[in-house]
Amino acid sequence: MIFPMDKDTFSKFIEESNIFVLTRESLYQCLENWYKEEPEQFIEELGADINIVMKTYRFENTMVSFNKNFKFEPPLDTISGKITICDENGDYCMTYQAIFDYDLNIIDDITCY
């Protein structure tokens, strides 16, 4: 089987596109908006307020993928970046996924707890 992209090209894309920087910027905006809109839920889910989360929690680059979503007609081609958030003890809190078009404009995001 011939793959459409070799691993070196994929690694180069990740580095040159700054996909994790873009994902992290979107994540920070998501967290700030969530805390402004629903601070009680934010604290309940993440175990701390926004200042503690931003200063002491770990944000770990987790995954980058190219996707083809067949729920759309025509199928939608996207790129996803995922970052996992762990608290200061290393315990899992949530995963954030930013979904980009091929021009690296964010088109959606997903949080999983």
> Is position 92 within any domain?
yes
69 and 80 Cβ atoms separated by less than 8 Å:
no
> Is position 99 within any domain?
yes
> Is position 87 within any domain?
yes
Can you say whether the dihedral through the CA atoms of 25, 17, 59, 46 is positive or negative? positive
Residue showing tokens 């930013």: 98
Within the chain, which residues score under 70 in pLDDT? Answer: none
Q: What is the pLDDT of residue 23?
A: 98
Helix (H, G, I), strand (E, B) or coil at 110: strand
Q: Is 81 exposed, middle or buried (0-12, 13-18, 19+ CB in 10 A)?
A: buried
Total count of domains within the chain: 1
Closest CA to 20 of 65, 57, 76, 69: 65
> Is position 2 within any domain?
no
> Is position 57 within any domain?
yes
Q: What is the pLDDT of residue 32?
A: 98
* Domain of residue 36, residue span: 7-112
Q: What is the pLDDT of residue 5?
A: 84
Q: Which pTM value belongs to this model?
A: 0.93
Q: What is the pLDDT of residue 3?
A: 82
Helices (H) and strands (E) in the chain, counts: 4, 4
> Is position 1 within any domain?
no
